[in-house]
Structure 1
Amino acid sequence: MEFPKAPTRERGKVAGVVTSPFPSSSSSSLLYKPGCSRKLETALQPAQGEGQRERKRNHPVIPDPKSTRIRSDQIRELIKDQRFFVASQHLLAMERDCSSDSGSKRKEDHVDHQSEIEDLFGLLKQEVLRIIRLSVSIAKAEPELLRDAVRTVAEQVEEDRRYTLEEKASGKAAHCRPRRWKDEWRSTVQESVTDRMKEPPFDSNEGLSTTAHSFLHMGKAMKDDLITVVKYIKGHYPEDFQVCSTYAQFYHKCFSAQLEMVAQFELGRKDTYLLLTWVQNIYPNEIRNHPILVKDLDQAHLGSLLPLRQIKQFEAAYLTNEVDAAKRSLANCLQLEVKKWAEGNEPPKLAGHYHSELHIDAIQIIHNKQKEAEGISAELGKQMSTLVLEELLAFLQSYKKALDIFMREKKNNQYFEATVVTNMNSCLGFQSHTEKTSGQDYIRVKIVNALTDIETAGCNVLVQCVVQELQPIFRKFTQRKWASCTDIIDEIIATAIHHVSTLRALKDPLRQAVIEKIHFFLVQEYISRLMKKKVSLRTPELQKNLSELVQQHASILCTFCLDNGSTAKWLGYALPSLAEIIKLQGTDTIMVEVGMLASKYPDISKEHLSAILYIKGNLSRNETRSILSVLDIGVTATLPHKHLFSSIRV
């Protein structure tokens, strides 16, 4: 009885089946009789439920190859219909029958049969491997077809193994085995990987360079395809195929070869960064350590995409290129800033403070280089951090030189003080960034010192602006009688207010530091003028009047400074104490007050005290000598030791 030809596979069939290139033999109409042992028949028993699965596909029932043989043209129809595993079983039975009957047939018939079998095996392998080549594409949509192809490959590999064992046992070689399907399978997988890793047409509209486009495509293809292998392909294969490792190794070799080729060319900054990012970060972290892939890829022992020696060369080139780029960018920032100073315009304000983008731009340059390198590897990030901090130090040194020139040559600029304040605010921004940045401590210390030098120079210039305008006013104290000096203190305060209004745009703690220096100058200069006036008042009444005037002026100066942010309360006792010494009449009470003054200001000398006592024209020499002797007694300081009197020349 002849079986009808298997109908063409419609549902689930992969299009483009290639018909066999081998001609049909005239022996295809022959039926083959059973000739295999029970052991071989058992080995070829289809998996349980196979018949049910095939019937669910609406295919006619094919006879069991253990009991009934079918013609070669029917096997061709099975292959054409992509029922590979069934075709493989019948073909194996045909191969075994041919081998067992070789001695009972004429040589010509045996050759014809063997030729037909080889043609069928060639056709089966061609179609099965075509499906294997499409595995990644069809794994989700055609799992049964892929499973059928994989089972066929596995069965043929197992048959090779069985023949090899029999050959060793019997010493007789089978001329048709091994057929090396596993080698063919590996080659097919490799070809499939190579095809899928081929770069698609370049689209410049994506905004990517050719290198970036290539890396992105290969990385995405490798990750997505390997996820498909793990989730949808791995389960079809026996464990000994190590299918995940096989695919992974081929993808790795393909990716690595492409990078090796790219590495032969002289790469620009961006492409060098891109290559290192893929080799050191994206590939190991996002592909090899992907949650779905990590277990299987660990078993594949993939290694790095490039040799370590080559990676180090690219890292060295990357560091050199990026540090040079940072240096140029910082120089451009400073050049633009200096140009703004020369224009003489009022600096902009932000939240009430004079503001410049200089520190923001410079810090952004440094920060971007650090983060970019850290994105490649932590070690490269550390190296970059050290190098760019050295560049920041060099930049700050250039910055100080430029600012020194401005402060020396542009004092007539309408917004001179505002510009200095702006740059001091920028220093605070640099300071804050340096404190938060990791790096070599010795470099950070040098950066902090450079910033401190700029801040100190700025503070001194701002204070000097106030001093230069106030000193001529203070000199009026020595040019007039004390009774007519009331308007002088008002003029001093008015002038100071003008400068302090600019200082309100200076951020703390620098603003506080400048105000305290101004506070110090006001107190010290007033004391100096009081000592240099060389006026001797002989009556207690005149001394009392002067004391009250000094007390009044001291209160005005102290209130002004404290209201504007000074915290130098230690200065507040000096003038009131001197006023009290001028007012007191008893030697003992004066000595007590002098002792209290010396305890707060240990740097007061006998010359300073003598100048104050000179005002008290009713003191005898002995009384003056007794009062001065208080300073010979060791007095315990009640305030932190700060110099107020030592810089006053009498």
Structure 2
Amino acid sequence: KWASGVFYRPDKLEGLGHYRSREAQRNISIQSRLKSTVQSHLEGVSSGLEQLRSAAGDVRSVRRDLCAVRWHLLGSAEGFQRLAPLRAVVTEHAQLAAVVRALPQLSSVHELLAHSLRLLHGQQLLEAHAGLMALERLRDDISSQLHGSSSLPRDQALGVVESFFGGLQELSEALAQQLWRVVGGGVRLVQEDPALFVSAVRIIEREESVDDALLLGPHAHRFPAPGRPKAWRQRFYRVIQETVAAAHFKAAHVELKGPGLGRHLATLQSDILAELRVVKDLMVQCCPPHYDILSVCTRMYHRGLSDHLQDILSRDLDKQEIFMLLSWVLHVYQSPEMMGHPDLLPEVDVSTLAPLVSPEVVEQMERKYVGKVKVSDVTEWMRRTLEVEFKEWFREEEPEMDHLGFFQSALPIIVMQMLDENIRVASLVTASLQQKVYAMAMDELEAFLIRSGVSLGCPPPLPEAGLPGQDGKGWRNPVPPISGGWGPICMGLEPPPDTLWVLGMFQPLYVQLPSRKWLSGAQLVNSMCEVIDKYMRDFSHVRNPVFTFLLAESEHLVMTHYVRALMEKKMVCRSAEERSQLATRLLQDAAQLRELFHNLGLAENEQTLEVIFALQELIRLQDPALLSLEVLGFMTKYPDISDEHVSILLDLRGDVSKEVRNVVLEMMAQNPQSLPENYQPIFSNILVPAPELPFCLRKSKCA
């Protein structure tokens, strides 16, 4: 491939000789290097074989010498056995020499112990500890010499040493007690006498070094040193923790009630902040860096305070105490007035630690707080306020009026201010607590409105089957026995739109509707108008838009109960004359009621009495064959009318055959109507009586 690329043209063949000589020289150079490499390897192999032959000869020579030595030692075994007494004499001599060397020190053991105790009582801690360590080294040296070389059993030999150095353990315990007193007062000492605290830390470090040497050094498993390991550094941390707990977290139960709890929390705030400042500024300089004393103390205070607060929260606290604790835990603790103080930052950061109080406990205390507020503040306070209010309202004179002649009461403002104050106070803790108090306040406000209505003679809401609602049952209010001039107060409570208050005096009038007595005159509607006018005059003391709302609701109720009375199958027209009389009565009643409400201030386009005018047209129609068209037009205006309502109206006419009825109902089924947006229901809130079941006997056909 290379040659074809070079000699692809004839004129390139002129250089063929040059390329041939160059390739020949390159082949000669390669062959020369190969020969040199092979020769070098051959010489190395030859030298290695020679060295192996020499080593084999040396091994054979050493083997012969070792065999000779072995036979020589076997022949001298008896001579070595005769040296056993000499070995015992040497061992005894070594022990006696050790005793002689240790005699000056052993004779001064008791004196050294007494001197170290005197130093300790004089708070010369380093000097006392130096004497202690010297005595411990002497004890350990003697124990080491006796270990494995004494003719006494090992335990017995060590027991003799321990007996002789019996006062050493007492000295060590006395020093430890002195150290823990110094460590316990460390926060005070680093300000007054830091040298004493530093001495204690240095002694602890020395003891840790000895522990490490005995446990991890080359003689770790030689023999157990009495009282080791002392683990004084761990004890150092425990003493600080116990001191913190005893100083701050052991308050008596009686001291943590009412104002005492506030004073206790304020004391904790100031004391912990002050002590952590001392730890950060002074104690850190008195301890080795690996002690990490600031972080350790921060965790100790945090953990101790958490346990202390858990204990307080487990008690029976009132609402003020719960509020105080939650506010302190959630806001004061990490604020710049305590753990977030500039003097502690950035070294102290409690946000990296576990919550001071778990979220579950906070949630539990929030619920308990809401319950306490409900019982002690809201419910009982509202009850007393309501009692006072109704004493004022039921006096002989009229209630207080403003300059426009409207009745007025400070009760709504007082109640709302009280609820708002509780919600505002809760917002100072957490948004969740504010939401819980808000929900409780709404529930209590609803209960307060119901209690107000009951006190005024307005019964609480009761369920009425069959009315539409979220659960299919609905809620309606029964007829309250209102008498006198207090109806406006019940109406002024502003019940929800789906609970309307019906005037009690209407009920005897509705019982007469429809009837032939009712057809004979206008006495019934006149009585209704008198009642409406009387109550509306009382309503005139109510401000707009509440007055307009009450007027519209009253008009709607009058219409609803009027139509409902027509649907109760109390009457069937017996002739065309009665149908005409019924239609005329409906027309006159509707016109009189419409005029009344118009004069009271309700515009005709805001009234619902128009449905009565439409019903009288259904009754007045002379040709039953045209009922299907009339009903279709009625359905267009009032799409919530059902076939049951239409059937009752057909029964009320008294002249509708089964064929015509079927045509009307079939027409309704073929033309279902949908409720337009913002349509005010008329017939969906009007129940019809259940149909009477046919009477049957055994296998006979039902009539």
Q: Using structure 2 for the length normalisation, give the TM-score.
A: 0.42
| Higher RCO, 1 vs 2 (CA within 8 Å, ≥6 residues apart) | 1
Q: Tell which structure's C-alpha radius of gyration is larger.
A: 2
TM-score w.r.t. length of structure 1: 0.44
